[in-house]
Amino acid sequence: MKAEIFRFHISLPQVVVAALFVGVSARAFAGDAALSPEAEWEKTVKAAEQEGEVVIYKLRSDIDWSGFQKRFPKIKLVREAAPASQVLQRIMAERRAEKFIPDIVMLGGGTSTSLQKANVLEAMSPAFILPEVKDQTRWFEGKHHYNDSDNRYVFVYAAFPLRLLAYNTKAVDTKAIASFWDLLDSKWKGKITAKDPRDPGGGSPLLFFYYNPQLGPDFIRKLLTGGNL
């Protein structure tokens, strides 16, 4: 496999997660005032182990879940990955059929907000148990961030800036790149990856290239086909 040196990607400004229709674990989330946070956490984990699995609907590209599976080997992690539009359609179809399958959905802000407006989400805060999660001072800007109008359902657990181009600092001398056109140099062929522009969410750098008068369709055509300067 050839090493990736450049990656074109416009990141979502936020990654969001929303609780859907949880069964046993939802009842555990209700909490017990007599229990310490640690004891309540253990009670929740045991309830999840008895239920046997956690179902997550998510985008096709996502974080590595091996850490979760290693820490909770008794809980089967079921991940259903698809483009955001397909996840939305699937959840709405299941809701109409009164099927309650996923526990968590991980999507971009727009799709998750559509689910919130359809009244198919549960509030997130009852799922927060451990002090380091509940304590908002430990979070970015000292608060929990949400992406819905009620500040309850669509939780933002990671935030990062938009970017157009990322590169491998160990393989690229930035002085050799003075413009986007330099990326068409044959030495970079086979060493550039890009977000599929057909995938929804987060925009596409191709829009910037297309409408930039100094680049335009000709640049895109050469970039995607491997055409040289």
The 10s digit of each residue's pLDDT in 94-114 is 989 988 888 888 887 778 888
> pLDDT value at position 26?
42
Does the pLDDT at position 214 exceed 60? yes
Among 140, 144, 18, residue whose Cα is nearest residue 88 = 18
Residue 10 banded pLDDT, cuts 50, 70, 90: very low
Report for 82-96, 104-118, 195-209: range of highest mean pLDDT: 82-96
pLDDT digit string, tens, across residues 128-174? 888 988 999 998 889 998 888 888 888 887 655 555 677 888 888 87
Q: What is the reported pTM?
A: 0.60
Residue 120 banded pLDDT, cuts 50, 70, 90: confident
> pLDDT value at position 136?
93
Coil vs helix vs strand at 180: helix
Residue 66, classified by CB atoms within 10 Å of its CB into exposed (0-12), middle (13-18) or buried (19+), is exposed
Section 171-198 average pLDDT: 82
Element (H, E) at 188: none
Does the pLDDT at position 63 exceed 90? no
d(CA 33, CA 109): 33
> pLDDT value at position 168?
82
- 70 is written with which tokens? 């290693």
Mean pLDDT of the chain: 78
> pLDDT value at position 59?
79
Residue with tokens 């987060």: 202
